[in-house]
Amino acid sequence: MPEFLTQIEPVKQQALAQLSAAGDLGALEQTRVSFLGSHGKFTALLKQLGTLSKEERPMAGKALNAAKVELESALADRLSLLESRACEPKESTDFTLPGRRRVLGKFHPLTQVTEDIVRSFRKIGFAVADGPEVEDEYHCFNALNTPPDHPARDTQDTFYLFARGDRGAEDGESLLLRTHTSSVQIRVMEKQAPPVRIIVPGRVYRRDNADATHNPTFHQVEGLYVDRRVTVGDLKGTVEFVFKELMGPETRIRFRPHYFSYTEPSFEIDFSSALTRKMGKAWLEIAGCGMVHPQVLENVGYDSEEWSGWAFGFGIERIAMIRYGINNIRLFYENDVRLLRQF
């Protein structure tokens, strides 16, 4: 073998050894320069090519070229290995560290109370019904025995979307924001033949000035039960069951005679429990109820000789305020997490 060719292999081996020993990108670059740089050992061999005889040159050129390709590919491999190592985290990961917790949100206290009420009524076979908040006068008042000149209209003044006689509701009646969920009693009975067993949680509106216990928008739950031979005893037993569930097992209730135009007889419901005693009261008024007025049953096409029923309505805010000891209704609507977090 010509003398020149014997020089190539040792330089190449040396270069390969140093490349694979280079521990970081700096060391690798140094190795590259010392062999392939303009004054590098391998470059020096390349430069000698021109000094060789014509016979020697082709073989030497071929050998040098093969070695160069081998060195460059070894260099590229080492470079990508060291680069990927540089991206790895310096410290190892501690898999025993506690994870980052996501803060879980909570339901609004009004939603919690509503869901509790719904759950209790579901246990005794009541279904949830719904109706429009923008209601017509007929369903909110007239069908419930409350004609336009009825004094009960004054206590339930509301926001009207069209004044009477306007082009609004097709029958010439006003549209309004419903003052109570009782309108849904009518809508359900119009659509469904008896028996009926529903509760209606929902938002209602009154033209009230906001204070600690009033807000122009609030929430109610309506209940309606229509069947054959329904009695006040059924009403009282049902109300007692639900309030015991909501306010604790030692809760007692009492009925006081009252007046609602859509029930006869009508009652106000008071309850007494550890919660009322905490507020310094033996009894607290909590709901209105009564036996559905026969005229209301006739208004929806039910035969009032065959069917009878009871209904009730109460405010969800009031229940939540008593249950959680909240003394200002407006706190419910401010959505301040410092309050909401507590329930």
Residue in this structure with the two tokens 């330089």, named with its chain if needed: 11
Which of 19, 311 has the CB closer to ligand DAH?
311
Residues in contact with ligand DAH, counted by CB under 6 A, come to a total of: 11
With CB under 6 A as the contact rule, which of the stretches 24-32, 83-91, 114-122, 310-318 interacts with ligand DAH?
A: 310-318
Residue selected from 71, 177, 311, 321 as contacting ligand DAH according to rule CB under 6 A: 311
- Please give the structure tokens belonging to residue 38: 């303009």
* Site map (CB under 6 A) of ligand DAH, residues 211-250, x = contact: -----------x----------------------------
Using CA atoms, how far apart are residues 98 and 100, in angstroms rounded to an integer? 7
Distance CA 283, CA 41 (A): 103
User: Nearest-CA neighbor of 148 among 281, 261, 7, 285?
Assistant: 261
**Sequence-ordered alpha helix ranges (H) in the chain:** 5-21, 25-36, 41-48, 57-87, 109-123, 137-140, 152-155, 182-191, 232-247, 274-278, 294-299, 316-324, 331-334, 337-340
Q: Residue 73, exposed/middle/buried by CB under 10 A (0-12, 13-18, 19+)?
A: exposed
One DSSP character per residue, 227-260 reads ETT--HHHHHHHHHHHHHHHH-TT-EEEEEEEEE
- Of the candidates 201, 202, 208, the residue with the CA atom closest to the CA atom of residue 134: 202
Torsion over CA of 260, 265, 266 and 268, rounded to 10 degrees?
160
How many angstroms separate the CA atoms of 101 and 221, rounded? 37
The verdict on 19 binding ligand DAH (CB under 6 A) reads no
Gap between the Cα atoms of 47 and 33, Å rounded: 15
- Reading the block at residue 80, the tokens are 């990508």
The four Cα atoms 58, 59, 63, 69 give a dihedral, to 10 degrees, of 30
131 lies in the site for ligand DAH, by CB under 6 A: no
| Binding range to ligand DAH, per CB under 6 A, among 89-97, 108-116, 209-217, 288-296 | 288-296
Judged by beta carbon, residue 251 or residue 263, the one nearer ligand DAH is: 263
Which is closer to ligand DAH, CB of 29 or CB of 268? Answer: 268
When asked if residue 121 is in the footprint of ligand DAH (CB under 6 A), the reply is: no
User: Nearest distance from residue 314's CB to ligand DAH, in Å?
Assistant: 7
Question: Interface with ligand DAH includes 187 (CB under 6 A)?
Answer: no
Q: Which is nearer to ligand DAH, 263 or 273 (CB)?
A: 263
> What is the token pair recorded at 303?
């035969």
The residue (of 131 and 313) whose beta carbon lies closer to ligand DAH is 313
Measured from the CB of residue 313, what is the shortest distance to ligand DAH in angstroms?
3
Instruction: Kindly tell me which of 31 and 120 has the beta carbon lying closer to ligand DAH.
Output: 120
Closest CB to ligand DAH among 32 and 135? 135
- When the beta carbons of 31 and 146 are compared against ligand DAH, the nearer one is 146
Of the residues 313, 316, 319, 326, which one makes contact with ligand DAH according to CB under 6 A: 313
Q: Closest separation between CB of residue 228 and ligand DAH, Å?
A: 19
| Per CB under 6 A, 308 contacts ligand DAH | no
Closest CA to 255 of 242, 245, 265: 265
- Pattern 248-287, binding to ligand DAH, x per CB under 6 A? ------------x--x------------------------
User: Contact residues for ligand DAH (CB under 6 A)?
Assistant: 180, 182, 222, 260, 263, 288-290, 311-313
